[in-house]
Structure 1
Amino acid sequence: MNAGILLIKKEFVQMARDLRMVWLPIVFILLGCTQPIITYYLPTILEALGGGQGITIDSSAISQEGGEVLASTLGSQFDQLGIIILVVALMGIIQSDKSNGMLAFILTRPVSISSYLFGKVVSNYIVVVLSVTIGFFVSYLYVNSLFTMVPFSHFLIALLLYLLWVLFLVAFTLMISAIFRSQGIIALISIIFLTGCRIIVNFIPAIDVINPASLSKHASEVLATGTFNTSVIIIVFVEFIWILVLFSITNYWISLKKIDYD
């Protein structure tokens, strides 16, 4: 555990040097405020640009409930551009250590692979959680200001569900980063798979139970309808199984490579 804590400190120092602890929260703040602002001012912008000629403005756009707008922040911003940004930020989580020889150095020391992975996941997930939470809270403030009030309990439940989906994202990108050497390949595979998981939600209800991206859908439903589906509990249980599987694969893959370093 001491080794894991030391590795967490090392990761925080590295992220501070890379300014990831600065630019990632800023990006999610921008994503968080974009959706409510665009939704609220889009009719006015269209009228100003088109003069109302040939443009049909949906008057219901500015009469949307706050929960619907906040839910669209998750679906239109965080689950699209947000996924790409997180993958780009995390694609070198292990690959960079392989490239600069740090992984070989660490594995030839009395440090277990589980401690190494623990330090990687905890440190990076903390930064991701803070970034997503800050961005989502900014969106919450804008929605409450421009639209109807959203109960804070709905905001909190939706945030927790979404952060569980983000944990799967971190675990999957960690595994891909351990297996492949090219950051381009890591980013491509991670973005395609994670975006694909989000796209197929609702297409086949039976698959939704084993699809971690369903947590994002349920988070949006809590905001839009105020209801909580008890099937979420099963999805959360299945997601933790997926995460354990991903960690096991990552651990096994690195243990195979460790032979080359001994």
Structure 2
Amino acid sequence: MSQFSVLLQKEWRENVRNYKIFWIPVVFILFGIMEPVINYFLPQILDSVGGLPEGAVLEIPTPTPEQILVAVTGQYQFIGMLALILAYMGTVAGERKSGTATLLYVRPLSFSAYFLSKWLMASLIALLSLWLGLLAAYYYTLLLFDTVNFADFLRFAATYSVWVVLIVSIVLAASAALPNAGMAAAVSLGSVLLMQLVDGLIGAYWSVSPLKIPVYAASWLNGRIDLVDFWISIGLVAVVIALLLIAGIWASRLNASKAKV
């Protein structure tokens, strides 16, 4: 059995033992369900709260099903990304700090297999969680509002999946490069928030950028997407992810001597 397979099985067991395989999907499913449910019952919620003058009527436009699904990814942009950062901030740094990594480093170890096994398992769990959450959102949107073209939904979910893999890559590269999980979390969260802030403030000046992936995901639902710019942006994300993987492997090897004995 190859070293990569052995390390991948180790990562699977650790994710099961730490309940990440359970609680991360629960977070995504919960927030996927909340958005359509809250939007459906929002008039009743506001009516029960009261506070309006007598005779006043509060008109709330009913969101389209597409808007609800896009709003779900809006929840994931912070809550979902925060869950992934907290789950995987110590993937490499935590092992070094606790001394667990020493048990691996004393053996002939391929740092490529070591880092990539962690990245692959984290990416698979993140994608599983995302798809379960989006499918739950799709079901409740269909149940409470109206249907969304399923082919467009699949394109929407697949495009947003690329963004999630990028976030996972940032978290693991930071964990490999920095001395502890706390610093990895701070850098990862700061990077994610900065990317969203930059695109929100000046993103209108460009149409090709890795930062545009969430926007392109939403564009599949409203039927307005420039395929040329889309595929160039996807290519740029692939390059960035590849560079992060190379940086993570290099940092894992460089910082191996700093593992606690």
Q: How far, CA to CA, are the matches of 2:125 and 2:215 in structure 1?
A: 23
RMSD over aligned Cα atoms: 2.0
Change (3 A) 1:260 1:40: closer
Q: How far, CA to CA, are the matches of 1:200 and 1:260 in structure 2?
A: 35
**1:20 corresponds to 2:17:** no
Q: How far, CA to CA, are the matches of 1:111 and 1:169 in structure 2?
A: 26
Change (3 A) 1:259 1:183: closer
Amino acid of the structure 1 residue aligned with 2:66: G
Q: How far, CA to CA, are the matches of 2:155 and 2:93 in structure 1?
A: 34
1:259, distance to aligned residue in structure 2 (A): 5.6
Match of 2:101, SS state, is helix
Matches within 5 A, 1:180-191: 180-191=178-189
Deviations 1:33-90 (A, max 9, x none): 1111111111211011115438763331x2x211111111112x11121111111111
Match of 1:102, SS state, is coil
1:246, distance to aligned residue in structure 2 (A): 1.1
Q: How far, CA to CA, are the matches of 1:95 and 1:197 in structure 2?
A: 23
Greater alpha carbon shift after TM alignment, 192-201 vs 15-24: 192-201
Confirm or deny: 8 A CA contact 1:201 1:217 kept in the other structure. no
Amino acid of the structure 2 residue aligned with 1:120: K
Change (3 A) 1:56 1:185: farther
Matches within 5 A, 1:57-76: 57-60=58-61, 62=62, 64-75=63-74
Q: How far, CA to CA, are the matches of 1:67 and 1:49 in structure 2?
A: 28
Greater alpha carbon shift after TM alignment, 248-257 vs 36-45: 248-257
What runs of 5+ residues in structure 1 fail to find an aligned partner? none
- The match for 2:84 among 80, 83, 86 is 86
Amino acid of the structure 2 residue aligned with 1:92: G
Amino acid of the structure 2 residue aligned with 1:176: A
Q: How far, CA to CA, are the matches of 2:206 and 2:93 in structure 1?
A: 31
Deviations 1:113-149 (A, max 9, x none): 1111111011111111111110110001111111121
Residue of structure 1 in register with 2:7 after alignment:
7
**1:226 corresponds to 2:223:** yes
Amino acid of the structure 2 residue aligned with 1:32: G
Change (3 A) 1:247 1:52: same
Confirm or deny: 8 A CA contact 2:33 2:136 kept in the other structure. yes
Change (3 A) 1:102 1:129: same
Number of residue pairs aligned between Structure 1 and Structure 2: 256
Confirm or deny: 8 A CA contact 2:212 2:233 kept in the other structure. yes
Confirm or deny: 8 A CA contact 1:214 1:235 kept in the other structure. yes
Residue of structure 1 in register with 2:98 after alignment:
100
Residue of structure 1 in register with 2:124 after alignment:
126
Confirm or deny: 8 A CA contact 1:72 1:220 kept in the other structure. no
Residue of structure 1 in register with 2:153 after alignment:
155
Amino acid of the structure 2 residue aligned with 1:187: A
Confirm or deny: 8 A CA contact 2:36 2:141 kept in the other structure. yes
Confirm or deny: 8 A CA contact 2:20 2:87 kept in the other structure. yes
Q: How far, CA to CA, are the matches of 1:14 and 1:71 in structure 2?
A: 33
Change (3 A) 1:243 1:207: farther
Deviations 1:124-179 (A, max 9, x none): 11111111110110001111111121011111101111111111111110111112
Q: How far, CA to CA, are the matches of 2:135 and 2:167 in structure 1?
A: 20
In the superposition, the TM-score normalised over structure 1's length comes to 0.91
Amino acid of the structure 1 residue aligned with 2:151: S
What runs of 5+ residues in structure 2 fail to find an aligned partner? none
Residue of structure 2 in register with 1:237 after alignment:
235
Residue of structure 1 in register with 2:167 after alignment:
169
Q: How far, CA to CA, are the matches of 1:219 and 1:97 in structure 2?
A: 35
Give the % identical residues.
26
In the superposition, the TM-score normalised over structure 2's length comes to 0.91
